[in-house]
Each structure stands twice: as C-alpha cells, then as structure tokens.
Copies of this chain bind each other. A is one copy, B any other.
Amino acid sequence: MAMRMSSLFLRTLRDDPADAELPGHRLLVRAGYIRRAAPGIYTWLPLGLKVLRKVERIVREEMDAIGAQELTFPALLPREPYETTNRWTEYGDNIFRLKDRKGVDYLLGPTHEEMFTLAVKDMYGSYKDLPLSIYQIQNKYRDEARPRAGLLRGREFLMKDSYSFDVSDEGLQASYDAHRAAYVRIFDRLGFEYVIVAAMSGAMGGSASEEFLAVSAIGEDTFVRNDAGTYAANVEAVVVPQAGPVDASGVPAAHVEDTPDTPTIDTLVASLNANHPRPDGREWTAADTLKNVVVVLVQPDGARVPLAIGVPGDREVDPKRLEAQVAPAEVAAFEEKDFAANPSLVKGYIGPGVLGEDKESRIRYVLDPSIAEGSAWVTGADEHGKHVLDLVLGRDFTADGTIQAAEVRDGDPSPDGNGVLHTARGIEMGHIFQLGRKFAEALDLKVLDEFGKLVTVTMGSYGVGVSRAVAAVAEGTLDEIGLCWPRAVTPADVHVVATGKNRDRDGDVFAKADEITAALEAQGLDVLYDDREKVSPGVKFKDSELIGIPTIVVVGKSLENGVIEIKDRRSGERREVAVESAVDEIVDEVRGRVAGAGA
C-alpha cells in the first residue's frame, strides 16, 4: 500500500532542531524520519523505520548468504557472565546497570560475546559441530558519556552482531574472511564511500581486527591511508615500525649541561642553539630532543599506576592512541600530588636516568619505536635546569619496551613502506575481529577434537551498526536541499506528487496521480504519494526535496498537454514524458534500465 501523505504520520519541520549537531541528523528530524525521545535515544517514525528495515534486510541477506544462523538473545542480561569475563567492571560507566525487584543485578547488553559463548557451550561439544557462525539483529545499549551526533552515537541502537566459533586458527581465519567478504557486499549495497582500515581490538582483546568506515568529514574516527591504496588504518591501529639500530661509535660521552629555565621543548631548543652549538654547526631542533611524558593509568579496579613514555620532542603523545594501547585502563594526568609522591621526578627535566622498572622511580618506561638503538638525544637530567646531551639509547640508557602512542601525522611514511600517509575522518560502520580464545577461556568453552582431547574454541566477533548505518548513509548522501537516499535504502522507490489544490477542483490531476500510483505499486514499487489537498505545489516540492526519495513524479498542470514530469532528486534533472508511457519509464528508471528500453 502506498504511503499517502494525507494520512501518513509525518510532519516536516521548517526549522532545524535545536539539539542536532550534524547536517544529516538535522535533516532526518526535519524530514520526519526520527524524533529524539531522550539524549541519544530515538523514535523511528514510519519513514525512518522503512529505511532502517531496508538496511536490516541487506545485512540479514548477506549474513544468511555466508551460512550464518540468526537467533536473538535478550537485551536484559544477568550480571554473572559479564562478571566472569570481568567486563561488568571494565565497562565502567559505559553500560546501563539495573536491579530487579529482588535486588539481583542486570545490565542492558552492550555486546553479547558472553551470551553467545555460553549458548555454544551449552549446546555443542564436538569439533564436528564447528565451524559455526550465529548472529542477531537487536537493540543494544551503551551509556555514552556524550550522546550526540544523533544516531551515530546513540544510547539505544540497532546492531547486527555475529560470532564465529572454530577449533583452529585457520578455521577462524576462514570465518573471518567470510564475514569480511559479506561486509564488503553489505557496504557496497548500501551505496556510499567506505574504506576498510586496520583497527585496534581495544577492550575486546584478540588479534586481527578491521573496521569499515564511511568516509565523512563529520566522522569521529581518524584514519590514515597512503596514496597507493596499499595501506589504511585507524589512527589508533597504526603500527610505526621499529627503527633499525644506528652506529653510535662517533658520539661523544654523555655530558650534563646547565640549561636554566628550559621546562619546555621550545625553550630548550633555543637555549641549546644559544649556549651549546653543535660541533657540526647544524641547528638543534625539537626532533633532537627526547621528551619523557609521565601519565597515570587508572586500572578498572581504581588502582593508579604511573607510566613514562619517551617520544621525539617534535611529537605529542596521542591520547586516543595511548588509550587504545592501555585499555581497559584509563589515562589520567600525572598531577602535583603524583610528583610529590615520586620525588625523583623533576618536573620539566625528567630523564631516563630515573625512569624504568629497575631504576630509582620504578616507573615503567616505554619508547616510541622511531627511537633507534644507538641514536643520541638531548633529554632531562633529572635536575632542575639541567639537561644531558649525547645520551645514546643502548649505551647510556635503556627502556622497558616500546609503545604505539606518538601522534601520527600527514606525511609520515606509510608503515608498509609505500609512500606517505594522509589523514581523513570516517564513521565506524562495521568492525570485524578475531577474538581468539579470550572469551572461550574465561567461560570455559571447550570441545572434543578429533583425537578426543578437549580444546578451547577460537572465536571471531563481527558487528554492523544498523541504525548508525542509516545516519551514515544520510550524512554521506545528503545535499544542500535535503536528504538524498541511494536506491538500496530509500523509504520508497518513487515520490508521486499531485499538485492540484483539491479533488473538487482538480479532479483529473488527482485521478491520474491515483492511477499512476496504483500502476507503480502493481509493478512492485514502493510509492510515497503526496495526495494532500490544500497544500501548495511549492510546499509539496520542498517536502519532496527534503524527504529525498530518488525519483519524483509530478502530476500537475502539464497533464492538460498529456505529459507528466519525472525528476531525478540527486541531479535535479527533469524531463516530461507522455502520460501513456509514464509508468513504464518510471519503472525503468527505478530498476536502473535505460529509460524506454525495458518493459
């Protein structure tokens, strides 16, 4: 049945909603697709629900096509399994917790690794039962600290999550590859630009991990890629290669120098150039200095553990990269009280002399991998107003390891050796990763192998943000006059507009529009039909632009000349066609055939 605008539960709004930050979100609200019910929580109005269901169907079809089986777990979940894997604690404030009338703890599921793992444990026991891929499409809940960006970061959101279960690593790789291929088909079908990037698995544990990002200036994720298209990664996941060793034989012995009033890299560089010129005459730059940044890692149990990070003085520590490395711990500033508790650290002059688990401070000390064995640095001398020069890694100081936490910049070499990196922004649409045996071990999911021995199952976890995809498609396809849906997810195939004033006066127009609508539906098309009376053509046109259905058919005055108008929403191109052939032409256009060639 056509959606008739005379009775459709829809009101388009002239003004932008006050709380909408993003253009696509503003349009989804203005065009009557969604309404905000609470921060980060949305109602899907009839038009919005149509789009959501289309995305859902595409995801389901591609999941079914790789043999994944659908089931549905509850959203209201018992605490116990999440306690076992420690995620009840690790999630911190990010999940919704509640108690039932008996005081028993529950949570609203943010993701269902535990439940899927337990279900397989409950039902399966042999390697012959595997491989298995199971999935659900279901509302999930996360108590986002800053629910904004509309559907892109909702607190109640529709997600497809699937999980694969295999006995061997090769099996996991095959399941992962199948999901990856399905995701490529899903995002190809959705019809917008996306990129697959290497990703961190973050709090989930595990190894290989990739994200499907919608390329978008308003995206919350920063990623890098090289020009050749051989490398793309989420910034958090960029792995800067370890610099090879350099020859330090010509470097003089380390020597401490007075550098008064040089608590920052800039003041230090100026002081060096003024008072300690290099023998070879080169200017000192920030890149010659080693900056030691101390932070506090707050563990899920609340414990505060300091960490020192050495990076070249011309780079900052990237908070997001650092957080991804240390999760589930959170990063906090090293404050005055922390300096007071660690008297060997001299603020502004911290050097490797006191850093390291085997040194005075007993603070773990990790270096950026760009810092090469044998390289010489100017760095803090652990004394106010003093720095040490010609301090050589491996000769004069050591560290406890390396960390991928320094900022990644436009123009940095691509880790695969192929050109340089460029940064861009994206919206995370899908995430696939090899969980490995973490959850299976925690929840004791074992099966008998072919030799009758119990082995731990290895798992993959794969997610698509279904409601987020609606927002991402909207953001990625809109133009300056409204939404502009790709055919795959449009709420209707055709928007028929009858421009008559009312049925009494313009009976012919309405009768013909009724007839065309019915004929299009008989051909299997979904039609949004603007049959409203006493609404001006101008308002109807504006609404059709705002709502963004790809093909707009105008039945109006030109009917007198035996023609109606077909308009392409994206290009704005209009053409008049004879009434007699209108339905065929519209069907061809919607089906993507050359107009007039088909039917």
Contacts and interface: CB of A to CB of B under 8 A. Distances in A.
B64 A45 contact: no
Contacts of A35: 119, 122
A150 B67 CA distance: 30
A123 interface: yes
Interface string A70-91: 1111111110000000000000
A139 interface: yes
A49 B77 CA distance: 18
Given A43-B119, A67-B7, A76-B108, A98 B97 contact: yes
A75 B44 CA distance: 12
A134 to B, nearest CB: 6
A102 to B, nearest CB: 9
Most interface-central of A1, A32, A98, A132 (chain B CB within 10 A) = A98
A48 B74 CA distance: 13
Nearest to A165: B9
A341 interface: no
A37 B78 contact: yes
Interface string A215-250: 000000000000000000000000000000000000
A101 B46 contact: no
Given A93-B101, A101-B143, A145-B101, A38 B70 contact: no
B72 A11 contact: no
Nearest to A123: B11
A69 B38 CA distance: 23
A9 B96 contact: no
Which residue, of A38, A52, A64, A67, has the highest number of chain B Cβ atoms within 10 A? A38
Contacts of A139: 75, 139
A192 interface: no
Nearest to A100: B143
Contacts of A124: 11
B156 A75 contact: yes
Given A1-B64, A35-B122, A78-B37, A71 B100 contact: no
Nearest to A134: B9
Number of identical monomers bound together in the oligomeric complex: 2
A485 interface: no
Nearest to A65: B1
A2 to B, nearest CB: 12
A541 interface: no
Nearest to A157: B74
Nearest to A101: B93
Q: How many of chain A's residues touch chain B, expressed as a range?
A: 35 or more
Contacts of A100: 96, 143, 155
A8 B45 CA distance: 36
A41 interface: yes
Interface string A112-133: 0001000100111000000010
Interface string A1-25: 1000001111100000000000000
A106 interface: yes
A334 interface: no
A284 interface: no
A49 B37 contact: no
B74 A96 contact: no
Interface string A529-556: 0000000000000000000000000000
B67 A44 contact: no
Contact of A43 (B44, B67, B115): B115
A101 B143 CA distance: 7
Pick from A9, A64, A119 the residue with the most CB of B within 10 Å: A9
A106 B9 CA distance: 26
A45 to B, nearest CB: 5
A175 to B, nearest CB: 13
B123 A9 contact: yes
Contact of A49 (B72, B75, B98): B72
A402 to B, nearest CB: 35
Contact of A72 (B1, B43, B101, B145): B43
Nearest to A6: B128
Nearest to A124: B11
A365 interface: no
Nearest to A73: B43
17 contacts: A1-B64, A7-B67, A9-B69, A9-B123, A11-B124, A35-B119, A37-B115, A38-B78, A41-B74, A41-B76, A42-B74, A52-B72, A75-B75, A96-B98, A97-B98, A98-B98, A101-B145
Given A1-B64, A7-B132, A37-B115, 20 more contacts: A8-B69, A9-B132, A35-B119, A35-B122, A37-B73, A38-B78, A41-B76, A41-B77, A42-B74, A43-B115, A44-B71, A45-B119, A46-B70, A48-B71, A49-B72, A75-B139, A76-B141, A93-B101, A100-B155, A101-B145
Ranked nearest first, the 9 interchain pairs of A and B with the lowest CB-CB distance are A98-B98, A93-B101, A38-B78, A44-B72, A11-B123, A41-B74, A76-B156, A74-B156, A9-B69
